[in-house]
Amino acid sequence: MKTIALVAHDGKKKALLSWVSAHKAFFADKQLVATGTTGKLVSDALQQDVMCLASGPLGGDQQIGALIAEQKIDWLVFFWDPLSSQPHDPDVKALIRLAVVWNIPVACNQATADFIIHSSLYQQNYQRDVPDFSLHTTRFDRT
Ligand SMILES: O=C(CO)COP(=O)(O)O
């Protein structure tokens, strides 16, 4: 099962909540991890369990970064707010840095988050619709 980390700054929480709500069915079979306040809001919006870590300014970003370094997170959706300063800005940068270091998909806005969902759905459908790809290749090789 895929594990997705969700984080949003206060100025972007509304955007994240409307985005996750629009994709409620997609998240139903995913494991969700989030910083404290974001996680509570997402859990209420989706009526789904979310592993809530500490609030961002209290170390939640660092906890998610640690999970990334332990390879327990498949992708990160982090709606950070480019128009307000954060007291824990070094933690924010460290989290994004670790997502890049560990080469996991990371979406910092809705357009990219949509891309990742569409790509993930495409991969699921491709794997389901073409299960006998190797068989097909073998048959082709014999002719
Ligand atoms: O500050 C955050 C990310 O940097 C988010 O923390 P909360 O989800 O606790 O608001």
Tokens of 140: 């082709």
**Which candidate, 42, 34, 24, 43, places its Cα nearest to that of 117?**
24
Domain boundaries, the chain: 3-142
**Ligand 1: residues whose CB is within 6 Å?**
7, 9, 35-38, 55-57, 60-61, 92
Which CATH code of 3.90.1200.10, 3.40.50.300, 3.40.190.10, 3.40.50.1380 fits the domain covering 3-142?
3.40.50.1380
The annotation status of 13 as a binding-site residue, yes or no, is yes
| pTM for the full predicted model | 0.89
> Using N-to-C axis directions, what is the helix angle for 89-101 and 60-69, rounded to 10°?
10
* Known catalytic residue at 61: yes
Residues linked to residue 4 through DSSP beta bridges, in sequence order: 32, 75
Query: 105-138 pLDDT, tens per residue?
Result: 999 999 999 999 999 998 888 776 655 555 444 4
Minimum CA distance residue for ligand 1 atom 9 = 55
